[in-house]
Amino acid sequence: MADLSINFAGIRSPNPFWLASAPPTNLGSMVERAFDAGWGGAVWKTIGAPAVNVSSRLASIDNGAMRLAGLNNIELISDRSVEVNLKEIYACKKKYPDNAVIVSLMVESNREAWHDIVKRTQDTGADGLELNFGCPHGMSERGMGSAMGQVPEYTCMVTEWVMEAAEIPVIVKLTPNVTDIIPPAMAAFRGGTNAISLINTINSLMGVDIDTFVPYPNVNGKAAHGGYCGPAVKPIALNMVAEIARNETINVPISGIGGISTWRDAVEFMLLGAGSVQVCTAVMHYGYRIVEDMIDGLNNYLDEKGFASVNDIIGLSVPRVVDWSDLDLNYKVVANVNEEKCVQCNLCYVACEDGAHQSFEFVESNGKRYPRVIEEECVGCNLCSLICPSPGAITMQRRDDGTSPETWRERTS
């Protein structure tokens, strides 16, 4: 089998699967059970001045039969003292020397406070530190969390403070609640960080009970915005990871976070530049043992593709992510209907007629009425193939000659 071990910014781990800083890493006993299940590493739930949490804390949206397609939380950092957390971190690392133990930190914007928490934490034997510059609720209102990550000058300043005291690798965790991920990533890089992790949760309000008029989650008749995570945020996370990975100036490892539920999700993040991946919502949904399938799936994938190490796939897809102006304007695909697989639901016709480019007509075939693509009208948008409920009934087929690629940048230069 392929080698799954990684060396992420100097942090060694038996595999790239880490638990993200969240409820599944709240206690030493929880992290130890996770390591027993097979997780390569864990980022301890953020420690700092103990928070007071509210009840209730979670809300979700479903996608058909899929529960927790998106999860919102208003839980804050650890509600246990720094001393208790540090004692458990020390014990956990001593018991599991081969697993990666990274500690998430958040304190007030004060150089001495950061120096103190860094020194105390690294005395536990932890392998690395993760600076929580991304929490979008509760802590940001106190001048911490995303209040740090949304202002590049603050990101750089606090990172510099930490690097003055740190003797173990430092990872800066970025917030997605910005218009452009590059400025805060650049700021962390300028501050000297050893690595970057992203994304933290996205600002959200999950919905409203239309009978009581109270938004979710209900805290005695009121609600507050929270952090959004789960499978629904994966595309946003992939984009931000790729943006940093393809920026030649920001030359640090990336830990990918956001909607990772399967080994396939993990592979996508690694192909786009992530050297490790962090998981939270899927564990809250299904438990620690999902890592067994992740490890088996990744092993099988690497073997089938002929890769000797998981490190061989990191960043392979990055060169294929370009600006829109560098896409081939002459590349042409059109939809094609396979009558043998068509179930005659006519969704393709309706979707194209009302939501796309009116490229379908109906034809009679073997006494039945089938949709057919009007190729000269089809722009190859993919909508019909995406909404078709019958696998293989609609495929996209290439129609250009492939000999004369041209980009918008070339056409307008």
Q: Which residues are catalytic?
A: 135
Q: Which amino acid is located at 259 in the chain?
A: G
The number of residues making up the chain comes to 413
- Rounded CA-CA distance 93/128 in Å is 11
Give the list of residues 6+ apart from residue 9 with CB closer than 8 angstroms, or none: 128, 169, 171, 194, 195, 252, 253, 275
Q: Which amino acid is located at 182 in the chain?
A: I
Give the list of residues 6+ apart from residue 349 with CB closer than 8 angstroms, or none: 360, 362, 371
Whose CA is closest to 72, among 236, 206, 240? 206
Q: Which residues make beta-bridge pairs with 395? A: 336
65: which 2 tokens? Answer: 């039969």
- Rounded CA-CA distance 57/22 in Å is 13
Phi (first) and psi of residue 404, to 5 degrees: -135, 70
Starting at the edge strand found earlier in the chain, the sheet holding 66-73 runs 58-63, 66-73, 226-229, 202-204
Count other C-beta atoms under 10 Å from residue 143's C-beta. 11
DSSP per-residue codes, 314-330: TTTTGGG---GGGSBTT
- Rounded CA-CA distance 32/37 in Å is 9
CB of 38 within 8 A of CB of 18? no
284-302: string of b/e by CB count within 10 Å (b at 16+)?
A: bbeebebbeebbeebbebb
Q: How many helices (H) and strands (E) does the chain have?
A: 13, 18
- Rounded CA-CA distance 147/308 in Å is 42
